[in-house]
Amino acid sequence: MLRIATPEDAQQAIAVIRRSITDLCFADHDGDRTVLDLWLANKTAADFQSWASSPDRIIMVGERDGHVCCVGGVTRDGEITLNYVSPACRFQGLSKAMVEALEEVARELGHTRIRLVSTQTARRFYRALGYCDAGPPEFWGRLPGFPMEKGIG
């Protein structure tokens, strides 16, 4: 079940995000502790509570059996900022369902295009969902991000 996140989801949601980055995004960080520390630095329960209560963002969680298993977010200006799944729930359609839900939120906000910055790990996934490259890689420290966009109108 997908739903709007609440600040009370923080501990479980952050655990999902941190495990997803650490375990599933190895192609991006290659186990480099410096890169991981930078990436995980703003992935705390307090950060999540701030995101969930921000009027500029819509944060969603997916639950299974009462446990958060995926986390997604979209800004009011049409950018997907989060899409993470628990390693135990990978390849079960949760990330795809989350992206579709975030796209619907963006459509409801009046957007006809949606954008995101993908990891290397997720790039093929987003291409399969119809996203196209939208510029050269952007670097956050040593971590490259790949701008992508899709028409949703």
Residue 37 located in a structural domain:
yes
Residue 140 located in a structural domain:
no
Find the mean pLDDT for residues 47-56: 95
pLDDT at residue 121, as a whole number: 93
Q: Residue 103 belongs to a domain with what CATH number?
A: 3.40.630.30
Find the mean pLDDT for residues 128-132: 98
pLDDT at 134 exceeding the cut of 90? yes
Domain that holds residue 24: 2-108
Which position has the token pair 């655990």?
Answer: 15
pLDDT at residue 4, as a whole number: 97
pLDDT at residue 142, as a whole number: 77
Residue 64 located in a structural domain:
yes
- pLDDT, tens digit (0-9, with 9 covering 90-100), for 26-44: 988 989 999 999 999 999 9
Strand ranges (E), the chain = 2-4, 57-64, 67-75, 79-85, 113-118, 132-133, 138-140, 143-151
Residue 121 located in a structural domain:
no
